[in-house]
Structure 1
Amino acid sequence: MSFDITRRIRFADVDPAGIVFYPRYFEMINAVIEDWFEQGVGYGFDAMILKGPHGVPLAHMEAEFKAPSRLDDTLVFSLVVRDLGRASIRLTLTARCGEEVRMVARPTLVFIDQTAHKPVSIPEALRARMLGYREAA
């Protein structure tokens, strides 16, 4: 199962050529991950970071830009879990406009204790909810 969210490309997202300025995709990716934690996993950033002891900093990112996205395009971002380690979360996010793939990103997050700034094991209940978004074989 994937976590899907729709986002319209706004004027602030595009460069003078009228296409998405690539750093804006990284902001969109972060927003999708934040929405997934809140709506899909049930552990929003407010509960995790502001009220709780955890964080999920980005450790690695790969991105492929397949086709340009333009002002007023509607993109559907689909997030799946590629791999779940003890403390690492490897995701794939695909942005599509209709059937056309526009961008694919592969972020790796690390589940940490914010006080110690060290990786910690993902709690089992949280891990089980994350695995509900495992990439289809």
Structure 2
Amino acid sequence: MREVVYTVRVEFGDCDPARIVWFPNFFRWIDAASRHFFVECGVPPWHETEKTLGIIGTPLVDTHASFRKTASYGDVLRIHTSIAEWRGKSFVQRYRVTRGDDVIMECDEVRIFAARREGDPTGIRAVPAPEEIRKLCG
């Protein structure tokens, strides 16, 4: 299982009045870590994969998070990202957010590989993960 680490420095504006990270920011950061994972694995940007493979991205369809400890401004968080499971037209992306040895948050997301729906330029459909992307991501 390949793991890629994405680093975030928590800023003052990321926190609520209690000086702890406002929880939606974690979801913003893990979404960025998701794309970073694919980039680090060698997957081209989605605008390129749309031309070559028909893939426009990996939208989120389900998420489950567990918050273990708080984080505050000045903290450096490391988001460890991997693919825990490949499914037919979806996959489970796993995140473990750490500060040093402390686990701050853990999250599993179910995402799909999306392609445009024929005849509907705004619609999308789930498609099987292209084999070349699966190989790159281990």
TM-score between both structures, scaled by the size of structure 2: 0.86
Partner of 1:107: 109
Displacement of 1:58: 0.4
Is 10-19 or 67-76 further displaced after alignment? Answer: 10-19
CA RMSD of aligned residues (A): 1.8
Residues 52-131 of structure 1 correspond to what in structure 2 (within 5 A)? 53-54=54-55, 55-116=57-118, 117-130=124-137
- Residues 34, 45 of structure 1: 8 Å contact kept: no
**Conservation of the 8 A alpha-carbon contact between 1:80 and 1:92:** yes
> Unaligned regions of 5+ residues in structure 2, if any?
119-123
- The answer on 1:44 being equivalent to 2:51 is no
Structure having the higher strand fraction is 2
Other-structure match for 1:22: 23
Question: Are the counterparts in 2 of residues 93 and 104 from structure 1 also a CA contact under 8 Å?
Answer: yes
CA shift, 1:128, in A, is: 1.1
Specify the code of the residue in structure 1 equivalent to 2:46.
F
Query: Offset at 1:105?
Result: 0.8
Residues 34 and 15 from structure 1, CA distance in 2 versus in 1: closer, same or farther, beyond 3 angstroms?
Answer: same
1:51, distance to aligned residue in structure 2 (A): 8.5
Q: CA deviation at 1:48?
A: 3.8
Alignment check: 8 A CA contact 2:37 2:82 kept: no
Runs of 5+ unmatched residues, structure 1: 133-137
Partners in 2 of 1:51 and 1:42 — Cα distance? 12
The range that moved more, 101-110 or 43-52, is 43-52
Identity %: 24
Structure 1 segments, 4+ long, off by >4 Å, are 49-52
Length-normalised TM-score, structure 1: 0.87
Aligned partner letter, 2:7:
T
CA deviations 1:13-51 (Å, max 9, x no partner) are 111111100011110010100111222242323434699
